[in-house]
Amino acid sequence: MGKTIQKLLLSMTGSLRDLLPIILVVLFFQLFVLEQSLPNIGRLLTGFVFVILGLTFFIHGLEQGLFPIGESMAHALAKKGSVFWLVTFAFSLGFGTTVAEPALIAVAAEAANVAASGGMIESTEQAKFSYANGLRYTVAFSVGLAIVIGVIRILKGWPIQWIIIGGYLLVVVMTMFAPREIIGIAYDSGGVTTSTITVPLVTALGVGLASSIKGRNPMIDGFGLIAFASLTPIIFVMAYGMLI
């Protein structure tokens, strides 16, 4: 118990040090550039305390729970030798973590609003809802696929750069044919998908898998899953934009 508290305090000073730049930037702009006082200061300060506590607990939990289990599962599945189960696991991990991603839900809803006010879709609740949902499931499906491709790459030991460069070429070609309104959202969806939850889990899967297969270097083969997960949504969202 005492050890846990000691660890928490240690990581709390870390969180404080990490947050300091944000507080300084905001204070500097408010006081010296905009020369205005902050409204609702009590609520803001409480919010900062929550951010610090949240960061502390989150990192502690990652080290206790997500990283060890992600690695041990990848080990176990790699040892089991069933490619089918590994690929199924990879797809459901990518799909499941993305479909629930809060940032994606927020951005998809925003994109639906913008599309409705620009006359791209009807301005009804239902049209917006189905547009936002279509966007979300397209992105989640493409992330699932990306993790599958990434896992197969680790198994086969393909070099990452050729796949990424090929993906880039596909993005460039598709940009020429996609409607102009979807391009910005499509490019953005690559960055939106990879959330606070997805990143550590997927990284743990990659590193664990690469270190349990003979002849694979976890440094070269373990990373790179996130890169696929940021690339495929661009391609699929542009395809979604061309279809509707």
Partner 1 sequence: MDWISGILSEIASITFSTAKDVLPIAAIIFGFQFAVIRKKPANLGQISAGFIWVLIGLSLFLLGLEWALFPIGRLMAEQLTNPELIQGAEAGQQLINQIKWQDYYWVYIFAFCIGFSTTIAEPSLIAVAIKANDVSGGAIGVWGLRISVALGVAIGISLGCYRIVVGDPIHWYIILGYVIVVIQTPFAPKLIIPLAYDSGGVTTSTVTVPLVAALGLGLSETVPGRSPLIDGFGLIAFASLFPIMSVLAYAQLSEAKSKLLDKKIRVS
- Shortest distance (Å) from residue 20 CB to partner 1: 9
- Is the Cβ–Cβ distance between 7 and 60 less than 8 Å? yes
225 binds partner 1 (CB under 8 A): yes
Torsion of CA 222, 225, 227, 231, to 10 degrees: 160
State in angstroms the smallest separation of the CB of 243 from partner 1: 19
Nearest of 135, 124, 220, 150 to residue 184 by alpha carbon:
135
Contact call for residue 21 and partner 1 (CB under 8 A) = yes
Name which position in 6, 9, 10, 30 contacts partner 1 (CB under 8 A): 30
Please, which of residues 53-112 interact with partner 1 by CB under 8 A?
53-70, 72-73, 76-77, 80, 85, 89, 92-93, 96-97, 99-103, 106-107, 110-111
Instruction: Enumerate residues 114-143 that contact partner 1 by CB under 8 A.
Output: 114-115, 117-118, 120
Burial class from Cβ neighbours inside 10 Å (0-12, 13-18, 19+) for residue 112 reads buried
Q: How far is the CB of 112 from partner 1 (least distance, A)?
A: 12
33 binds partner 1 (CB under 8 A): yes
C-alpha torsion 154→94→74→149, nearest 10: -20
Q: Which of 203, 235, 240, 241 binds partner 1 (CB under 8 A)?
A: 203
Q: Does 241 bind partner 1 (CB under 8 A)?
A: no
The count of residues interacting with partner 1 (CB under 8 A) is 111
The answer to whether residue 148 forms part of the interface with partner 1 (CB under 8 A) is: no
Determine the 3-state secondary structure of 158 from DSSP: coil
Shortest distance, position 99 Cβ to partner 1, whole Å = 7
Q: Please pick, from the candidates 18, 122, 129, 244, the single residue that binds partner 1 as defined by CB under 8 A.
A: 18
Q: Does 12 bind partner 1 (CB under 8 A)?
A: no
Return the amino acid letter for 56: T
Q: Identify the residue among 222, 236, 240, 241 touching partner 1 (CB under 8 A).
A: 222
8 A C-beta contact, residue 189 and residue 137: no
* Least gap, CB of 14 to partner 1 (angstroms): 8
Q: CA-to-CA distance for 170 and 142, rounded, in angstroms?
A: 15
Nearest by Cα to 232 from 177, 180, 193: 193
Rounded CA gap, 79 and 175, in Å?
42
Please tell me whether residue 156 binds partner 1 under the rule CB under 8 A.
no
Six token digits for residue 153: 């790459």
Binding residue for partner 1, selected from 12, 134, 155, 195, defined by CB under 8 A: 195
- Residue 121 contacts by C-beta under 8 Å, 6 or more apart in sequence? 112, 115, 127, 128, 131, 244
Interacting residue with partner 1 among 31, 83, 165, 244 (CB under 8 A) = 165
Q: Are the C-beta atoms of residues 221 and 212 closer than 8 Å to each other?
A: no
